[in-house]
Structure 1
Amino acid sequence: MNLTDIQSKIEDSLANGFVDQKIAGSEELMPQFIHNGPGDTMLLHIERELSHCSSFTFAIAFITEGALTSLKVKLADLATKGIRGRILTSTYLNFNSPKAFQELRKLDNVDVRIAENNNFHAKGYIFDHDAQHYQSAIIGSSNLTEQALMNNYEWNIKFTSYDNGSITEKLIQEVELAWKQATPLTSDWITIYSENYQPVVRAKSNANKIISANKITPNAMQREALNNLSEIRNSGAKRALIISATGTGKTYLGAFDVANFQPKKFLYIVHREQILDKTMDSFRQVLSDEPEDSFGKISGTHRDMDAKYTFATIQTLSKRSCLTQLNPEEFDYILVDEAHRIGGETYQRVLNYFQPEFLLGMTATPERMDDFNLFEMFDHNVAYEIRLQKALDEKMLCPFHYIGITDYEKDGVVSDDTSSLKWLVSDERVDYIIKQTTYYGYSGDCLHGLIFCSRKDEAYELADLMSKRGYPSKALTGETPQSKRDEVVDELEQGKIKYIITVDVFNEGIDIPCVNQVVMLRNTQSSIVFIQQLGRGLRKANNKSYVTVIDFIGNYKNNYLIPIALTGDKSRSADKARDDLEVRQISGVSTVNFSEIAKERIYQSINHTSLDGLTVLRDDYKNLKHRLGRVPLLCDFQKSEKVDCTVFADKCQNYYHFLLKMKEDVHLTAGQEAILSFVSIELMNGKRSVELLLLNELIKHHGIFAKRNLKTLMTKQQIFYNTDVSRSVERVLSLEFFQKAAKKKYGNEPVVLIEDGIYQLNTKIIDWLENDALFNSLLTDAIHVGIIRANKYNQDEQFTLYHRYNRKDVCRLLCWDSDTSSTIYGYRVRDHECPIFVTYAKSDQIDSSINYQDRFINADTFQWYTRHNVKLDSKEVTNIKDSQTTIRLFIKKNDDEGKGFYYFGEVQVKETEQQEFQVKDDKVEPIVRMILQLDDSAQYDKYLLFEK
């Protein structure tokens, strides 16, 4: 690219931003206003600029450790490419902590200086592009803090200037002058600063409880759970289960409910003695009016059998010599902590012995790997459920910064599922681990780390090697006695050791609030275990504003589980898993960061894994059946967000087929199954709800429903509906829309007929509905779940921005007479509609005759090519350019992403140009290049998905 080209592009981009937005500028050069809106945060813009710059300079007054942690992966990737930067910051208002300056010193490819004048309050991010002779800058209100980069309502302007532009010259002069006058950041400087540093006092919140003048009161989550428990008891229920993520105040919730219940005698059962005292203290705070001697323990050293509030370890309580001292009706309220353990023999012995008025179980992980039905034990009464994402949203947990980086690699070899111990504890790998954990750091003044590894011998060897390198560490395994575990945990809390290295021992049931760094040196076994291990660091604690989670990602077949676990996605959809991989912000200031190589490994794992395999679906089905106490319906899956209902249609054509695979005693005729497949495959996705609502009304009204009433219903529910939609719905439900093979699969008979303005359900279907309870249940379930799923879409419009649609979906929603999806290929002009389907990254194996350079020019403009052998004056191009033609743009990243395309909205033809296209054997054919203007600017995070 010559200088004239880049100058011209900058001129167009500036004109777009400041003169006329119809002038097409290049996205990377256009002025932009950034205020932290949906899908468009300051963090995204900074990362994007870093990805394309040759060097950078940040002039930022305030910097926090957490914000640096969010950028460290990107900065590390830049370091591997030899790209350096500068950060100029300050001591203004004593905002920046000594620890933040220490973290800045860890950035090998970043030079840091301190402006020590008392009025340095700059907030500017400058990115050099030496090869193209321009600079981009973002200047405004955002400091380098988590809130300013992601959550706060900020005002920032991004702009670009050529090297000889006056604004660039002035900006460079100011930066260089400030840099020259600033003091280099050194260890000695930090030592002096630390001696004189007075930290800024910031308000702290405690989401687990609200403290009034006299006593602790429930927070919003606890109030809702308490109301549900009261309603369950009022209904006559004797048992209930609370599902609540670690750190969300389960103990206080239990105490509040006991206070409401006012038992004559209460029993709290735990599985570890060392948490008894903490639990008792929590209850004492809530039950502050009770005398001290009301509280007692039954444990290895205590036998307080007469206490009103008794706290017992299961190990002691389950002994027959202990049980026989207590009456089976001794306690009218029993609470079991870590209730997922109650399938064990000791728990069963205790719970079969006692006969309380009410039994409450509490657990963070009700899912079981064995066949024990936890939900049945509590009569399927789930009083309340709060999982990780909701707990983060409610600010009950400590935020986290997840760092996904590649494991140690040498000569192209990296850790995998079969790595030997010699490889896992090699000096090179241990040095690499220490280098990365040191670089990504932790919140607070002292490291309290927890490392999960894959094998016992690895844990012991790794603890020894890290200790020898100056990081005192101890290994704990399943073989370690409980007393030793308690001793080691105490050493970690006191800072005597830096790391506990374990093999799954601390997946659950351990409370170490001080943990500020979690390191994963093993394959992700399951989403459940991943969240359990992540959760070890999420308890709030003094001197800890976030937890750093460092995941060393090797060539593991289960890598696909990582984004699924982080986002809480249980849909079993590969498309959704790929979307999860792009998520950068989980909740609040919790972030997800993958190095480029690690991200590619996960992407390949998703592509090579059957997320909807029958084995995993069987597990999901069994877990939900246990929870409900009956055969689940699709609505149950959808409401509980366990599996996307469309997975069953894709995998088995209908849910009936799946139930057969689950060995359920069900039977439908071939005709019934054909109708069920039709609704499941074609309608249940909810992308248009009209057919579903019409079928629902026909079933409710014994097979008869007036056309005028459907129009009234659509108007009332504000659903997109016109004459074309009415005609399309009739062709879909009569099966006329479908090709011959599909008609045969769906029974070859109309599902719905229309006569004299009256819709009539096929009489066979009416008969089946009235006389076959199973068919009635499965068909109405498929219809209802489709209506539920329709809430994901804007039903008052034909299409919803940034949702996925395949070619057949588009044919139906555009109200075309028939399904021509098999012959659409890149685009089709029909009935004044032109959907364009773009596969952004063409495969290396793709035929050169269709390898066009379709791409975003900027978030408002898309460059698109027609098929080759097409001229400007052809009927095809004329029809596309016709003002009556509506053009819609659908894009997917590559062919790995299945049949679905993201919808980017309607576009207008802005420019057309006749060009020549090189095809096989040096043959040249005409082709038309079009510049398309998007009616709705592409949301920034979606635009970044496709930026080359």
Structure 2
Amino acid sequence: MTEKATIKNAILNGLYDRNYQAHQQFTPKLIRNEDGTIWETLRYELMNCKSFTWAVAFITSDILTPLKVILADLARQGIQGTLITSDYLGFNSPQMFAELLKIPNLKVMLTTIPGFHTKGYFFTHDGYSTALIGSANFTRAALLQNHETMLKVTSSQHSTLFSQVATGISHLQNESHPLTEEWIANYAKSWQSPKTSNGSNQSNRKIIPNQMQRAALIELQGLIDRGAHRGLVVSATGTGKTYLGVFAVKENRPQKFLYVVHREQVARKAMQSFQRVIGGSQEDFGLISSQHHDFSPRYLFATVQTLSQKKVLEGLSPQMFDFILVDEAHRAAAPSYQLLMDHFKPKFWLGMTATPDRMDNQDVYGIFDYHIAYEIRLRDALNNDMLVPFHYVGVQDYEANGEVIDETTNLKRLVASERVKYVLRQLEYYGYCGRQPRGLVFCSRQAEARELAKQFTALGHPAIALTNQDSNYQRQEAVKRLENGELEYLITVDLFNEGVDIPSLNQIVMLRNTESRIVFLQQLGRGLRKYPGKDFVTVIDFIGNYKHNYMIPLALNDDSSRDQDQARREVQLPQNIGVSTINFSRVASERILTSLEKTKLDSMAELRRAYHELEQRLGRAPLLIDFLQSGSVSPVVFARNKLLDNYGSFLVKMGEKVKLNRYENQVLTFITKELLSGKRAHELILLSLLKDQDVTKEQLISALEQNNCYVNAAVLRSLTDVLSLRFFDVKAGKQTKKQQYGDQSIIAVNQGIYQLNSQIKDSLKQNSAFQRLFVDVLETGLALSKKYDQRQQFTLYQQYDRKDVCRLLNWPLDVSAPMYGYRVAESECPIFITYHKKSPKQRNAIYDNQLQDGQSLRWYTRSPRHLSSAEVQRLLAGVDEGHQREKLHLFVKRSDAVGKQFYYLGTAKIDPASVREEMLGEKKKAAVGMNLVLEHPLPTTMAKTLIE
């Protein structure tokens, strides 16, 4: 289809009749944040345009960081744009204008037209243009959060609309002048912010629990009421952890209270917070430290170093306190804390931490009796406006002569003057919120920190290095100098990972390899505390050729699934958490994907680590359902692991005593490998019923309907084929399946009555381990099935392998092994396409399957095939008459590197005018080519996943 015809069909589809088949990308439509985000659409258009012109009245600095990432990539391609704005109502700040001037490939114009209130975004492509016009200004809230509406229209460059837009832009430019530093300086002299700054009158505001703190207090009190003596609250850094502790103490009104932490500075600050909320006499609050030993006040705040001293502890009664709060409770496994916890016998121990999952395998959860009273994770805190939003930018690290920074790079190259200048250019370009930078830089070595501080300072960016060799006084003085503007940067290794409050930080800079998700989140969290006038924090991560680059998207997205496909999508597709954004430059993205391809996320070592982490949290061996509910490893990862028969065999590897006979192991292997994914819930529902009683056909149908599952004779036959194991009774792999799953039918069907076989029934009654694992797979599978639309065979844009497709098409046998690219059956034909071929020398590389316009895909039969071939005749039956007999299901994956799973793109029709016999490949073998037209046009995100 020509470009002109594609745009014509899209316009007819969007403005005349939705039955016209049209390219999703070109169809006129309304864009709203409720359907994704407006920013995603703007981002996609930017990344695929030849030039752009925006006319936008209001712009805020808090959205410029993600824009700069894209424009930096576009600059390398020689692509430029124009932005027309104004000073209307004084909304646009001088600092925002100054940030725009930093973008070299953006021409900024100021219109003199009175009352300029336009919101239009225009993009030029090859032969066509796209316009977005509506309510959204270029602000973070408008593009990511607010209820805004934009009309997106694509037109030919010969259209009236294009001519009108071009004329309008020309008029605006004629009534505008270029933005200059001189103009900004004059504007700043008289400019006044139209908005009240954040945090005004904070000191007079009464402190009350926020929504998440209220929920945490309810859960905590419930734990206490049930007679628990210990409990742990997990609360992301900056979410008001200390005040949550204050509220908990205030509600419980202890006669004597103790707060324990590892640093006096933190203890003092906590005491002030408690005083402010609880009130009362100042004499009620006391400090226990190296210089203070007054134990008479009701509320005591102590350093663990002082309190754990033998002479101090011996003078204190074990029953002295009835409520003890341990802050930074992930340290509670240390000997000094254990001395206190062995000595004191309060009514309740409350532990509070942001990072309970420790790298040293200390069981923090066990110390608090595995009672997690409440958990506030980073994503939840951001979505609930408890933290300041962040803009994460992953940029490529410095490269010279083709060499990129990696783990082995020597110090000389890390502190080379050209690298330092490169780093400072990036920090200046991506900017910060506020008048000057207040940055915290994490690097890999102490010598590097000291040298970087010298060079930063020499280049006009005052900085100081802080290491564990510096005293507490030196650290406090450095923080004061940063806060009062004497310094711009503190440069350290891991010193400021935790326990230090610098709320005014507006830049976090990562100049080191990410070795640990825990440390990464600790360092990110340093900048997320709210502060008056601080609208966001910029996080700039310099990404070299590091082995563990793959950890970055996992940490940012709180992804513990060990699912390779999910991790890949997190790098490729734009991400946002509320109004926080995650952005990777093109080169940085490629480096992360390279790291990901070299990493086996689901290795036994990774699964073992995840198992022990969850075991610590629960205080027992976790089941598959525990992994799912905790957001840890995806249970499907265990099912796909070739080294494991089932989860029972994994538990044995973990040292658990799980006794299963050979047949029990085979049954668990079957339901795990074949049913756990939940892609069809029918078998899981039937087995869940049968574990308790026999089931009639009518009862089964009723249960399926209650669970919104489609029911017909074919699917009922398929259930019997699968659960009798007849489905696997094919020559290819027959012996293997029999060895894996056993020779017996899982169920029997007699006169419309479904029954479990007697051996499974006996095992469920007699072997508690088998019963527990059997039920676990069924419960987990049913939970996973919720992501699939069970009212139909396949769910759009979910993933399936060839065996899944055979089963879900209700075929009597698993013929996936010999199927390869497609199989023409009686009425339904699945087609499997690998979009990017590894090499042109591959056998299937001659089939150039291309998504030409997001809806039409050129596809070829296998060769040799002719128009007269019986298989082709069945495929084309009814096509010319407009009633295609064969229902085509299209499954596509990006490349063989992503594994066996294909995305389901829906059904497709054959374009009769496109069918022709062609000679393909070096040997010129005949095949029949045709255009397949998707029933559902490909969404932008799916196109990016499969094609780019």
TM-score of the aligned structures, taking structure 2 as reference length: 0.95
Which residue is equivalent to 2:675? 683
CA RMSD of aligned residues (A): 2.2
Aligned match for 1:190, one of 184, 187, 209? 184
Are the equivalent residues in 2 in contact too, given 1:911–1:932 (CA < 8 A)?
A: no
Q: Displacement of 1:24 after TM fit?
A: 4.7
Q: Residues of 2 paired with 1:27 and 1:726: CA distance?
A: 37
The verdict on how the C-alpha distance between 1:477 and 1:846 changes in structure 2, with shifts beyond 3 A counting, is farther
Which residue is equivalent to 2:881? none
5 Å-filtered alignment, 1:52-71, equals 52-71=48-67
5 Å-filtered alignment, 1:825-836, equals 825-836=820-831
Q: Residues of 2 paired with 1:734 and 1:303: CA distance?
A: 75
Are the equivalent residues in 2 in contact too, given 1:583–1:592 (CA < 8 A)?
A: no
Q: Which moved more, 1:722-731 or 1:584-593?
A: 584-593
Q: Residues of 1 paired with 2:726 and 2:302: CA distance?
A: 69
Q: Residues of 2 paired with 1:851 and 1:521: CA distance?
A: 45
Q: Which moved more, 1:25-34 or 1:561-570?
A: 25-34
Aligned match for 1:243, one of 227, 234, 243? 234
Which residue is equivalent to 2:892? 891
Are the equivalent residues in 2 in contact too, given 1:32–1:157 (CA < 8 A)?
A: yes
SS of residue in 1 equivalent to 2:270: helix
Aligned match for 1:338, one of 328, 337, 341? 328
5 Å-filtered alignment, 1:157-172, equals 157-172=151-166
Letter in 2 for 1:42: I
Q: Displacement of 1:8 after TM fit?
A: 4.6
The verdict on how the C-alpha distance between 1:371 and 1:944 changes in structure 2, with shifts beyond 3 A counting, is closer
Which residue is equivalent to 2:71? 75
Which residue is equivalent to 2:798? 803
Which residue is equivalent to 1:588? 578
Which residue is equivalent to 1:571? 561
Q: Residues of 2 paired with 1:334 and 1:849: CA distance?
A: 68
Which residue is equivalent to 2:244? 253
Q: String of CA shifts for 1:513-537, please: whole Å, max 9, x gaps.
A: 1111111111111211111111111
Aligned match for 2:269, one of 278, 292, 297? 278
5 Å-filtered alignment, 1:416-815, equals 416-651=406-641, 652-701=644-693, 704-738=694-728, 739=730, 740=734, 741-815=736-810
Which residue is equivalent to 1:944? 944
Q: Residues of 2 paired with 1:947 and 1:775: CA distance?
A: 45
Q: Residues of 1 paired with 2:482 and 2:205: CA distance?
A: 34
The verdict on how the C-alpha distance between 1:900 and 1:96 changes in structure 2, with shifts beyond 3 A counting, is same
SS of residue in 2 equivalent to 1:856: coil
Are the equivalent residues in 1 in contact too, given 2:569–2:945 (CA < 8 A)?
A: no
Percent of pairs with identical residues:
44
SS of residue in 2 equivalent to 1:700: coil
Q: Displacement of 1:924 after TM fit?
A: 5.1
Letter in 2 for 1:889: L
Which residue is equivalent to 1:201? 195
Q: Which moved more, 1:308-317 or 1:842-851?
A: 842-851
SS of residue in 2 equivalent to 1:340: helix
The verdict on how the C-alpha distance between 1:911 and 1:409 changes in structure 2, with shifts beyond 3 A counting, is farther
- The runs of 5 or more residues in structure 2 that have no matched partner are 879-883
Are the equivalent residues in 1 in contact too, given 2:198–2:533 (CA < 8 A)?
A: no
Q: Residues of 2 paired with 1:151 and 1:214: CA distance?
A: 27
The verdict on how the C-alpha distance between 1:241 and 1:112 changes in structure 2, with shifts beyond 3 A counting, is same
Are the equivalent residues in 2 in contact too, given 1:215–1:285 (CA < 8 A)?
A: no
The verdict on how the C-alpha distance between 1:613 and 1:563 changes in structure 2, with shifts beyond 3 A counting, is same
Are the equivalent residues in 1 in contact too, given 2:30–2:152 (CA < 8 A)?
A: yes
Letter in 1 for 2:773: L
Are the equivalent residues in 2 in contact too, given 1:271–1:315 (CA < 8 A)?
A: yes
Q: Residues of 1 paired with 2:14 and 2:218: CA distance?
A: 54
5 Å-filtered alignment, 1:204-243, equals 215-243=206-234
Q: Displacement of 1:168 after TM fit?
A: 2.6
Letter in 1 for 2:307: L
Aligned match for 2:286, one of 296, 307, 311? 296
Q: Displacement of 1:853 after TM fit?
A: 3.3
SS of residue in 2 equivalent to 1:742: helix
Q: Displacement of 1:136 after TM fit?
A: 2.6
Are the equivalent residues in 2 in contact too, given 1:909–1:932 (CA < 8 A)?
A: yes
Are the equivalent residues in 2 in contact too, given 1:242–1:361 (CA < 8 A)?
A: yes
Q: Residues of 2 paired with 1:458 and 1:911: CA distance?
A: 67
Q: Residues of 1 paired with 2:77 and 2:121: CA distance?
A: 20
Aligned match for 1:18, one of 15, 20, 24? 15
Q: Residues of 1 paired with 2:299 and 2:803: CA distance?
A: 64
Aligned match for 1:42, one of 38, 55, 59? 38
Q: Residues of 2 paired with 1:879 and 1:901: CA distance?
A: 25
Q: Residues of 1 paired with 2:440 and 2:702: CA distance?
A: 61
Which residue is equivalent to 1:905? 906
Q: Residues of 2 paired with 1:360 and 1:885: CA distance?
A: 65
Q: Which moved more, 1:902-911 or 1:106-115?
A: 902-911
Q: Displacement of 1:451 after TM fit?
A: 0.9
The verdict on how the C-alpha distance between 1:943 and 1:166 changes in structure 2, with shifts beyond 3 A counting, is same
Q: Residues of 2 paired with 1:217 and 1:211: CA distance?
A: 12
Q: Displacement of 1:583 after TM fit?
A: 4.1
Q: String of CA shifts for 1:545-580, please: whole Å, max 9, x gaps.
A: 111111111111111111111111111111121122
The verdict on how the C-alpha distance between 1:875 and 1:152 changes in structure 2, with shifts beyond 3 A counting, is farther
Paired positions, count? 935
Q: Displacement of 1:252 after TM fit?
A: 1.2
Q: Residues of 2 paired with 1:44 and 1:385: CA distance?
A: 30
SS of residue in 2 equivalent to 1:899: coil
Pair 1:365-2:355 in alignment: yes
Q: Residues of 2 paired with 1:28 and 1:695: CA distance?
A: 44
Are the equivalent residues in 1 in contact too, given 2:25–2:939 (CA < 8 A)?
A: no
Q: Displacement of 1:900 after TM fit?
A: 0.9
Are the equivalent residues in 2 in contact too, given 1:872–1:913 (CA < 8 A)?
A: no
Q: String of CA shifts for 1:829-873, please: whole Å, max 9, x gaps.
A: 224112222212222245365433323344444443333444455
Q: Residues of 2 paired with 1:26 and 1:384: CA distance?
A: 47
Are the equivalent residues in 2 in contact too, given 1:914–1:926 (CA < 8 A)?
A: no
The verdict on how the C-alpha distance between 1:798 and 1:916 changes in structure 2, with shifts beyond 3 A counting, is closer
TM-score of the aligned structures, taking structure 1 as reference length: 0.95
Are the equivalent residues in 2 in contact too, given 1:850–1:867 (CA < 8 A)?
A: no
Q: Residues of 1 paired with 2:867 and 2:529: CA distance?
A: 64
Aligned match for 2:30, one of 33, 45, 55? 33
Q: Residues of 1 paired with 2:311 and 2:484: CA distance?
A: 38
SS of residue in 2 equivalent to 1:361: strand
Are the equivalent residues in 1 in contact too, given 2:866–2:926 (CA < 8 A)?
A: no
Pair 1:267-2:258 in alignment: yes
Q: Residues of 1 paired with 2:910 and 2:204: CA distance?
A: 66
Q: Residues of 2 paired with 1:205 and 1:800: CA distance?
A: 47
Q: Displacement of 1:242 after TM fit?
A: 0.4
Q: Which moved more, 1:445-454 or 1:142-151?
A: 142-151
Q: String of CA shifts for 1:14-34, please: whole Å, max 9, x gaps.
A: 334333444455555443332
SS of residue in 2 equivalent to 1:823: coil
The verdict on how the C-alpha distance between 1:248 and 1:831 changes in structure 2, with shifts beyond 3 A counting, is farther
